[in-house]
Chain A
Amino acid sequence: MKIGDKLVLIIGIVLVASLYKQLWFSEGHGDFIQITIDAKEQRLVSLAEDQILKMKGKVGISELEIHNGKIRFKHSPCTNQICVHTGWLEKGGDFAACLPNRIAVEVVANNTLFDSINF
């Protein structure tokens, strides 16, 4: 084997290992939140990175905070603040909604706690 061959082999092994890491063991992979605005506009956002989302709804701007793979309504322009009191959402299927502002957030994951929920 030439040096080039050995280099190719080593790079190959590293590549395969990183594929395993990426596709099998990456944390938070496949965990998203689905944000529905006014029952039609839908957005998928990854829970992997911490951020604050500002969503414009019917009565104002709702602030959604993503932190450590969890999400919550941080601030809402509505009067009863039910969405804010729902607290952190983290497991697949967790759900919070602000009806006055018409914004709903649902955690989408590969393994959800419930198969389906009917309201």
Chain B
Amino acid sequence: MTTVTLQPTREDMRIAYLAAFAIMIHIFEAAIPSPFPGIKLGLANVITIATLLIFGWRMAAWVSLLRVLVGSLMIGTFLSPTFAMSLSGAVASVLMLGICWKLLGHHIGAVGYSILAAFAHMAGQFMTAYYLFIPHQGLLKLLPVFMTLALVFGLLSGIIASAMIKRVP
């Protein structure tokens, strides 16, 4: 019998490190009750944005998707509707970041990427909610409110991310 040892690369370690950060924030945030049900700040996305700007899109995608997977396992929402919402939001925002990163690169900073990601996140979640859970016209009335919150929260976490990036040597 032969044993195969996988030697983690520097990049693997870095992904794990950053994902752990994001997961920590994710869990911490899940513990704080929200004044509006179903709406949270999404502070874990700060890590995704910072990763994107420092290490590029591939790593940001890893960090974001690992965060959703491991975070849901830790909280206990894995494969639940909450997980479907969380995953669809993360996938949408990662795709959005990928496209914009390819097209615009460093022409946009943390704040811009954060807003873009927040919009995509909300749109992805909303589509999942609409097609999978509540296919009712009335839900569309809530879309502007959700998008307003996405804009505000995206702006906030973008400002936090840009402050964070400045402190990274």
Residues of A that sit less than 8 Å from B by CB: 1-2, 4-5, 7-9, 12-13, 15-16, 19-20, 23-24, 30
Contact = CB atoms under 8 A, between A and B. Distances in A.
B85 interface: no
A24 B109 contact: no
Nearest to A9: B115
A15 B147 contact: yes
Interface of B: 104, 107-112, 115-116, 119, 137, 140-141, 143-144, 147-148, 151, 154-155, 158, 162
Contacts of B148: 16
A1 B109 contact: yes
Given A23-B140, A23-B141, A2 B147 contact: no
Given A5-B112, A24-B144, A12 B158 contact: no
> Which of A2, A8, A9, A16 counts the most chain B CB atoms within 10 A?
A8
B143 A19 contact: yes
A19 B123 CA distance: 12
Instruction: Please report whether the interface of chain B is mostly helix, strand, loop or mixed according to DSSP.
Output: helix
Contacts, number: 52
A8 B144 contact: no
B144 A20 contact: yes
B143 A23 contact: yes
A2 B107 CA distance: 8
5 contacts: A4-B107, A5-B108, A9-B155, A12-B151, A12-B154
Contacts of B158: 5
B155 A19 contact: no
B152 to A, nearest CB: 10
A7 B151 CA distance: 13
A16 B144 contact: yes
B109 A4 contact: yes
B108 A24 contact: no
Given A9-B115, A13-B151, A24-B141, 15 more contacts: A2-B111, A2-B112, A5-B110, A5-B111, A5-B158, A9-B111, A9-B155, A12-B119, A15-B147, A16-B144, A16-B147, A19-B144, A23-B143, A23-B144, A24-B144
A1 B162 CA distance: 9
